[in-house]
A = this chain, B = another copy of it.
């Protein structure tokens, strides 16, 4: 199968809930993205994190093997610096090969599990 998707994706509404309830790791509040790479080539992603009150930071590097999906918690992006909990951020993801990205959130801050998600926004050009 040929490559599917786009080389640029955007998640504007990032916010890792600061509190969690329940067992680790499945009940830990988190923002996640699922990156699908159907191409025959490893995908090399560069992620830039934008903040409300600070300069953008990055790139965070992430690799996704050929013909694999990789689900990543934003909580786990720590180099060059961990994303603070409870703080608004956006992620801009660029890739050398086309990929497809879906965003999801698990919020267990108020005793029960709440979930939401959406396709990320893809830039046509």
Contacts and interface: CB of A to CB of B under 8 A. Distances in A.
Number of copies: 4
B116 A104 contact: yes
A4 interface: yes
Interface residue SS majority, chain A: strand
B92 A1 contact: yes
A111 B107 CA distance: 15
A118 to B, nearest CB: 5
A114 B114 contact: yes
Shortest Cβ-Cβ A-B pairs, 10 listed: A13-B102, A13-B34, A12-B36, A36-B90, A69-B90, A12-B102, A110-B113, A12-B34, A71-B88, A114-B115
20 contacts: A1-B92, A5-B123, A10-B36, A12-B34, A12-B100, A13-B33, A13-B102, A27-B110, A38-B92, A56-B67, A69-B90, A102-B121, A105-B115, A107-B113, A112-B112, A112-B113, A115-B116, A116-B116, A117-B117, A119-B119
